[in-house]
């Protein structure tokens, strides 16, 4: 018999945004609370090695990150009212086993 465990979180479980530099010699990381205003333009580049994070020469994720955080904040606020006839959860992928 095979079993599968699924994991879910509620929007209320999300408390911060973590950004980690992928450059092997840097690995700087920032965790920002999402209950405070986020200024994604400050995340355009790694604060340590200055490599691009949310902004590249002809591309930017700054607006998308701002919108995603704002949408999550709005969703959390809207769900707090409690008058909705549903429960919303987000499924997260399982952790990979180290076998």
- Render each residue's pLDDT in the chain as its tens digit; 99 residues: 888 889 999 999 999 999 999 999 999 999 999 888 888 888 899 999 999 999 888 888 998 999 999 999 999 999 988 888 999 999 999 887 665
45 Cβ neighbours under 8 A, 6+ residues apart: 51, 52, 53, 55
User: Which of 98, 97, 96, 93 lies closest to 7 in space, CA to CA?
Assistant: 93
Going by the DSSP 8-state scheme, the letter that residue 20 receives in this structure is E
- Distinct helix (H) and strand (E) counts, the chain: 1, 6
Alpha-carbon gap, residue 70 to 66, rounded angstroms:
6
Give the per-residue pLDDT at 99.
57
Going by the DSSP 8-state scheme, the letter that residue 52 receives in this structure is B
């Amino acid at each position: 018999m095979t079993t599968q465990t699924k994991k879910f979180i509620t929007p209320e479980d999300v408390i911060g945004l973590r950004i980690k530099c992928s450059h092997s010699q840097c690995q700087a990381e920032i965790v920002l609370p999402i209950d405070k205003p986020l200024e994604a333009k400050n995340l355009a580049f790694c604060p340590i090695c200055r490599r691009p994070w949310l902004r590249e020469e002809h591309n930017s994720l700054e607006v998308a990150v701002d919108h995603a955080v704002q949408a999550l904040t709005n969703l959390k606020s809207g769900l707090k009212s409690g008058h909705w006839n549903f429960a919303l959860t987000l499924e997260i992928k399982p952790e990979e086993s180290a076998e």
